[in-house]
Amino acid sequence: MSTTADVVIIGCGGAGSAAAAELARRGRTVVGLDAFGRGHDRGSSHGTERIVRAAYTDEMYSLMALDSFDGWRDLERETDTRLLSMVGSIDTGFARELADISTNLTTCGLPHELMDAAEAERRFPFFRFEHPVLWQPNSGTVHADGAVAAFQRVARANGADLRFDDPVIAIDVRAGGVRVTSTSGVVEAGSVIVTAGAWADRLLDGILALPELIVTDEQVFFFRPRAEYPWPTFITRTVPELYGLPTPGGLMKAGEHYTGPRVDPDVRTAPSVEAAERVSSWIAANVPGLEPTPVDATTCLYASFPDEDFIIDRVGDVVVGVGLGGHGFKFLPEIGRRLADLADGESWRGNPFSIDRESRHVGPSGHK
């Protein structure tokens, strides 16, 4: 089969689906190709909730999260689907980081409170705190599977042709366009967007030189609450970093940030007993509102660059949106819009996510 399109997208996880939705809304002809089935669990965008928050130590991400909140609400309206649960968030840990987050939230005009550990335990008796706490009510979760499906519904409703179980075999960059070969045939397009997550470096080998893409298999565990508390999301800004968030079925999902083993994305590891024990003993010591034995576990890939910042850029007719790591989901509406702009040929002045190391954004690390 041979098809022509304005844009061909390789990888219809979160980023590719967001870009497909935005381009299709603009009336572009779009073909999206994914190696696995719709809603598969082999990449980074599957499962229940992801944390959405503007509480970053890096102002650029706080502002981008603020824009993304609008994008999520627009997507909810457009698809008549509830995706966000604004349950609030707790950050606890190093006082310096909490102060930086507070400054950025003030810049964003978002209310928040800093409190000492004793006051925080009075407010949130289902936690124990060793460090000060920053509470931020305008944070919460977005449903991951629901969000990706919603982007795909918008894309299809506006004419996009999304094909699953259809791995791309070759990208051929030619004068004035690209030719992409997948198992179902060939797509000729004006530009290609590569949003292939943990597989992006293989696909772009010989086409674009990316920094080293670090792929880790991260583990998350599910804990049963002892009672129906109003659970917020939480992040410990200590070493190691842990996070948790409520899920619609009532279980709390919790995991360590960035401790998973490096893997080949095609060769996954089973949930590790050691990681379960570490998270479980942390929960036992710090979250008395949860039963400390996990009732379920899953794994998910982080695909990150060493500086933990994304690459969202265009070189010739190749647009890339990769390296979203362990914190990219919340920004998907904005990432989709930026990828669509780049595919449309718009330049991004001062692009913080440039592939060019010299002009890349440099900010504090440790994002979640």
Ligand X SMILES: Cc1cc2nc3c(=O)[nH]c(=O)nc-3n(C[C@H](O)[C@H](O)[C@H](O)COP(=O)(O)OP(=O)(O)OC[C@H]3O[C@@H](n4cnc5c(N)ncnc54)[C@H](O)[C@@H]3O)c2cc1C
Residue selected from 251, 300, 339, 355 as contacting ligand X according to rule CB under 6 A: 300
Closer of 10 and 105 to ligand X (Cβ) = 10
CB 13, min distance to ligand X, A: 2
The site that binds ligand X (CB under 6 A) totals a number of residues, namely 38
How far is residue 153's CA from residue 111's CA, in Å, rounded to a whole number? Answer: 34
Encoded one letter per residue, x for contact with ligand X by CB under 6 A and - for no contact, window 218-257 reads x-x----------------------------------x--
Nearest to 149, CA basis, from 30, 12, 32: 12
Query: Restricting to residues 119-178, which ones interact with ligand X according to CB under 6 A?
Result: 167-168
Closer of 133 and 322 to ligand X (Cβ) = 322
Residue 326 binds to ligand X (criterion: CB under 6 A): yes
Q: What CA–CA distances, in Å, run from 198 to 195, 216, 303?
A: 9, 9, 5
Residue nearest to ligand X (CB): 13
Residue selected from 51, 115, 187, 297 as contacting ligand X according to rule CB under 6 A: 51
Pairing mode, if any, of strands 296-304 and 252-256?
Answer: unpaired
How far is residue 59's CA from residue 108's CA, in Å, rounded to a whole number? Answer: 9
**What is the H or E stretch that residue 4 is in?**
strand 2-10
Beta carbons within 8 Å of 208's beta carbon, 6+ residues apart: 315, 318, 320, 355
Residue selected from 132, 190, 294, 328 as contacting ligand X according to rule CB under 6 A: 328
Report CA torsion sign: 13, 312, 68, 27: negative
CB 118, min distance to ligand X, A: 28
Closer of 2 and 349 to ligand X (Cβ) = 2
DSSP one-letter string for 173-238:
EETTEEEEEETTEEEEEEEEEE--GGGHHHHHTTT--PPPPEEEEEEEEEE-BSS-----EEEEES
Residue 308 binds to ligand X (criterion: CB under 6 A): no
Query: Restricting to residues 25-44, which ones interact with ligand X according to CB under 6 A?
Result: 33-36, 42-44
- The position carrying tokens 């102060």 is 99
CB 195, min distance to ligand X, A: 5
Closer of 168 and 251 to ligand X (Cβ) = 168
Encoded one letter per residue, x for contact with ligand X by CB under 6 A and - for no contact, window 179-198 reads ----------------xxxx
Residue 75 binds to ligand X (criterion: CB under 6 A): no
CB 116, min distance to ligand X, A: 26
Per-residue burial over 130-148, b = 16 or more CB atoms within 10 Å of its CB, e = otherwise: ebbbbbbebbbbbbbebbb
By CB under 6 A, name the binding residues for ligand X: 10-16, 33-36, 42-45, 50-51, 167-168, 195-199, 203, 218, 220, 255, 300-302, 324-330
